[in-house]
Chain A
Amino acid sequence: MANDLFNSFMTGPDENGRFGMFGGRFVSETLMPLILELEAEYNHAKTDPTFWAEMDDLWKHYVGRPSPLYHAARLTEHLGGAKVYMKRDELNHTGAHKINNVLGQIILARRMGKTRIIAETGAGQHGVATATVCAKFGLECIVYMGAHDVERQAPNVFRMRLLGAKVVPVTSGRGTLKDAMNDALRDWVTNVRDTFYCIGTVAGPHPYPAMVRDFQSIIGKEVRWQLAEQEGEGRLPDTVIAAIGGGSNAMGLFYPFLDDPSVGIIGVEAGGKGVDDRMEHCASLTGGRPGVLHGNRTYLLQDDDGQILEGFSISAGLDYPGIGPEHAWLHDTGRAQYVSITDAEALEAFQLSCKLEGIIPALEPSHALAHVMKIAPTLPKDHIIVMNMCGRGDKDIFTVAKHLGFDMKV
């Protein structure tokens, strides 16, 4: 890539919320004034030191940031090549990176005087994070969750209810994450005055993709100074790797490195049963084409008539037919590389992390780890890989047990 392209990757989106041709504000007129108001509030908060002071305080004392940057020595040795670090966002309160973003949006909602918070969730991690922060601030919380996911993520449904949230099982459409997002948007259109829609990934209409990225960027910012601390001043990772559902943990890790030409960037999509014509995967970039859904233009899984297809993945958190618009742009410009990992490969990585590192990962970062397993052996020992361990696996042990043929009923 031409070097003069660097120093320009961190300037997006433009004033219309576009990253190149991607992004935008494809919403109904009823919502348009609301997202303009949100954009104005966010632009104000972004440059307000008191906003970030509140964030920093909660990140430190409530979430437990900074999360460690951990040298996975036995995994590194086992793979026999590149030196592998894990960014331990699975140690956050609530067990995933999702809370980084939720805190930002809820503080913003409070500044805007909104009292009713709605969210969509797939695996339930974003729902749990939202319910958690709402409990802390005494806000009403309604979480839309596909009926199918309500079933396969029962522990998270119970957690949300314990935290005082109302979980609405979504049966519209096919009852999946994208339908949960549709129902959340329908709720928002209906309750415009008091409601704040807390989106869980770097998708949706502008300003959500940029705002969620900014909140998640704490991940990459910490990696920068933590790696320098451990490897010497100025040392940057050679490769950063993260799993992608909508793409928020990945944008959070990638963004602070976009303008560093020496840093290779790899996003890992869910390949399900394999990226081919059967369409039993969630690899929007590798297996989709540009379209418009949920307020933005991005790569989507769709048929010839522009009807949206369901994704498929063992991981409920990656099961989304789209991807954040900034990823679509990084893909098309070539700044980042996107690959896919199958369910079987992710399951193997899941087990390896348990056995070699004593870390039970969520199935989502298991996809990122599976790609690390592919490339690390081919790279020299002084090559540093940082992968985002963005969630812990407690929520997934039932799914994994089933796939490994282990009977959990005692």
Chain B
Amino acid sequence: MSRIDAKFAELRAAGRKAFVAYVMAGDPDYATSLEIVRGLPGAGVDIIELGMPFTDPMADGPTIQLAGQRALAGGQTLAKTLDMARALRETDQTTPIVMMGYYNPIYSRGVDRFLAEAQEAGIDGLIVVDLPPEEDAELCLPAQAAGLNFIRLATPTTDDRRLPRVMQNTSGFVYYVSITGITGAAAAQSAEVAPEVARIKAATDLPVIVGFGITTPEAARDIASVADGAVVGSAIVKMIGEGRSTAEVLGFVASLAEGAHAA
């Protein structure tokens, strides 16, 4: 069983919703970023999404764009992001780590080489924004063959005709993007999200996690109550961008986790 599957089995047994946190690897620098990442499981984070910085993040809003720029300016590379996962695995063997980003840095490194390195570094899954099912042969199928989960985004524009195709090669969980828009944009309400989650659940047995636009513990609770969990990214990244201390950032993350877990 993969770490992701084990985590959801554990949550299901405890009757709890998942809390997923996104941070940009290397933001604002490698050491601070690693310190924050290492603190996430203790703050109640069930799954860590580790952002891979890219110069051209076309699905991200200003908050995550700037985080990527800070990380790149600080010398972050794909190799260092893998190092960060390795370093986390020294202190935590159970929290799933999902790498999230864009295809070009992976393609540039070489898909086979990257998958071998990710596997060895203790990575559990990949979310690659610019690889829809139409491009599954690029990375999705090789990743599954290498034992990594390939987590797909489903969106409000993924209609019922298309949904089976989107679910087909998805594993681990499904990430439902609750709005049409970029990261950091306005949030959806649970009343709108609930029927959409039901629609997706009709097409898959995988857990459905909802993200985009969740910024408060209340919103995390609200959204998690109609899904299998909630993801928060921009709100955490924003605090890191403001130069808050690691303790402050982790304190905020803990409040979000409590919100989601209270659902």
Residues of A within 8 A of B (CB): 16, 24-34, 172-173, 178-179, 182, 185-186, 189-192, 291-295, 297, 300, 302, 304-308
In the complex, B54 has a CB within 8 A of chain A: yes
* Cα separation A371 to B245 with both chains bound (whole Å): 58
User: In this assembly, does B74 line the interface, its C-beta being within 8 Å of a C-beta of chain A?
Assistant: no
B105 near A305 with CB under 8 A, answer yes
Provide the bound-state CA to CA distance between A300 and B102, in Å.
15
Known: A172-B62, A173-B56, A293-B104. A32 touches B134 (CB 8 A): yes
Contact at A294–B104, with CB atoms within 8 Å? no
| Chain B, residue nearest A308 (CB) | B55
Cα-based distance from A28 to B106 in the complex (angstroms):
16
> Shortest beta-carbon distance, A73 to chain B, in Å?
46
Whether A28 lies near B130 (C-beta < 8 A) is yes
Q: Which residues of A contact B181 (CB under 8 A)?
A: 189-190
Complex Cα spacing A304 to B77, Å = 10
Q: Chain A residues near B131: list those with CB within 8 A.
A: 26
Q: Given the interface contacts A29-B158, A30-B155, A192-B180, does A306 sit within 8 Å of B134 by beta carbon?
A: no
CA distance A28 to B166 in the complex (A): 12
> Do the beta carbons of A293 and B154 come within 8 Å of each other?
no
In the complex the two chains form, what is the Cα distance from A291 to B109 in whole Å?
Answer: 10
Contact A29 B107 (CB under 8 A): no
Interface contact A30-B180, CB-CB below 8 Å: yes
Interface flags for B59-77 (1: CB within 8 Å of A; 0: not) read: 1011001000100100001
Are A185 and B107 in contact, with the CB atoms below 8 A?
Answer: no
Give the distance in Å from the alpha carbon of A407 to the alpha carbon of B185 in the complex.
Answer: 47
Which B118-176 residues have a C-beta within 8 angstroms of A?
A: 129-135, 152-159, 162, 166
Residue from B56, B103, B108, B166 within 8 A of A29 (CB atoms): B166
Q: Annotate B82-111 by CB proximity to A: 1 below 8 A, 0 otherwise.
A: 000000000000000000001111111100
Residues on B with beta carbons closer than 8 Å to the beta carbon of A190: 180-182, 185
B159 touches A33 (CB 8 A): yes
CB of B160 to closest CB in A, whole Å: 11
Taking CB atoms, residues of chain B closer than 8 Å to A179 are 56
* Interface flag for B78 (CB, 8 Å): yes
A30 touches B157 (CB 8 A): yes
Give the chain A neighbours of B152 by CB distance below 8 A. Answer: 29
Are A28 and B132 interface neighbours, CB within 8 A? yes
Interface string of B170-211 (1 = CB under 8 A from A): 000000010011100100000000000000000000000000
Contact across chains for B130 and A33 when beta carbons are under 8 A apart: no
Flag whether B9 is at the interface (Cβ < 8 A).
no
- State A291–B131 Cα separation when bound (angstroms): 13
| Residues B56 and A293 in contact, CB atoms below 8 Å apart | yes
Q: Are B158 and A24 in contact (CB under 8 A)?
A: no
Contact A292 B155 (CB under 8 A): no
Q: Is B58 an interface residue (CB 8 A)?
A: yes
Which of B54, B58, B78, B103 lies in contact with A186, CB distance below 8 A? B58
